[in-house]
Amino acid sequence: MTARNRKKNLVVLVSGGGSNFAAILESIDRGEINGEVKAVISSNAQAYALTRARERGIPAYVCARKDYESGEARDREILRLLREYNTDYCLFAGYLGIVSSFLIDAYPYRLINIHPALLPKFGGKGFFGIHVHEAVLAAGERESGATVHYVDHGTDTGLIIAQRKTEVLPSDTPQSLQQRILDTIEHKLFPEVVALLCDDRVVVSDGKVLIK
């Protein structure tokens, strides 16, 4: 095997249910992703994502803000773990947390987030969880979707790798829209992008993302 198609080391950051994390594991099981989840880090000790990890024998860590003197101290521990696992890509799968600059700078173009809307719309401070879908409906949008992007120093502002859309239905509630985006878009799009990354098929050139 050449260095080019070496299996990639993935670390997944979570805060909640971890359905995106589960979708990535299933895609790995089907042989679609040339990578392995080496560890899971949660900002929340109650996150069901931790149970999913432990059931699979994946090392699971809790790095909760309240257990550290500052957000930077917590992020120093996350950085230590990313280094310990020789992380190629760190996947933010429903991770709720502000990321320190030094952590972003330590892993340029290697921190990947999924956001449940069509960025740059409905991103930034306050746009997380159900609030995103409430805002989409309140604005009368006719379509929504999900975006996979690199994490940069802003909130939901990093270069977009891929986006996929769905129609907003007249009967939609924030909950139905959230669930449909999770089931029909996020759980497919995130693993697809991770597969492309692990195959070295995503290239950033002149500030643009190219899929080879």
192 Cβ neighbours under 8 A, 6+ residues apart: 162
Q: Is 115 annotated as catalytic?
A: yes
Does residue 115 interact with ligand GRF by CB under 6 A? yes
Name the nearest CA neighbour of 95 among 15, 22, 40.
Answer: 15
* Smallest separation, CB 18 to ligand GRF (Å): 5
Stretch that binds ligand GRF, among 15-23, 68-76, 83-91, 204-212 (CB under 6 A): 15-23
103 scored as a contact of ligand GRF (CB under 6 A): no
Per-residue binding letters, 55-94, with ligand GRF (x by CB under 6 A): --------------------------------------xx
Taking CB under 6 A as the criterion, the residue among 186, 191, 193, 198 binding ligand GRF is: 186
End-to-end C-alpha distance for the chain, whole angstroms = 20
Q: Does 158 bind ligand GRF (CB under 6 A)?
A: no
State the minimum distance, in angstroms, from the CB of residue 112 to ligand GRF: 11
State which residue, 19 or 87, has the beta carbon closest to ligand GRF.
19
Nearest distance, CB of residue 148 and ligand GRF, angstroms: 9
Rounded Cα distance, 104 and 85, in Å: 17
Cβ-contact 128, 96 below 8 angstroms: yes
Q: Say whether residue 97 binds ligand GRF (CB under 6 A).
A: no
The answer to whether 118 contacts ligand GRF (rule: CB under 6 A) is: no
Q: Which residue is nearest to ligand GRF (CB)?
A: 94
**197 with 173: CB under 8 angstroms?**
no
Out of 9, 11, 12, 19, name the contact with ligand GRF by CB under 6 A.
19
Instruction: Show the tokens assigned to 29.
Output: 């099981």
Tokens 């597969």 label which residue? 195
- Interaction of residue 123 with ligand GRF, rule CB under 6 A: no
**Most distant pair of Cα atoms in the chain: their distance:** 52
Strand arrangement of the beta sheet that strand 111-115 belongs to: 60-62, 35-42, 8-14, 89-92, 111-115, 143-150, 160-167
| Residue 145, both tokens | 């979707």
Phi/psi zone of residue 206: left (φ > 0), alpha (ψ -120 to 50 degrees), beta? Answer: left
Closer CB to ligand GRF, 21 or 85, in the complex: 21
List active site positions.
115
**What residues line the site for ligand GRF (CB under 6 A)?**
16-21, 93-94, 114-116, 182, 186
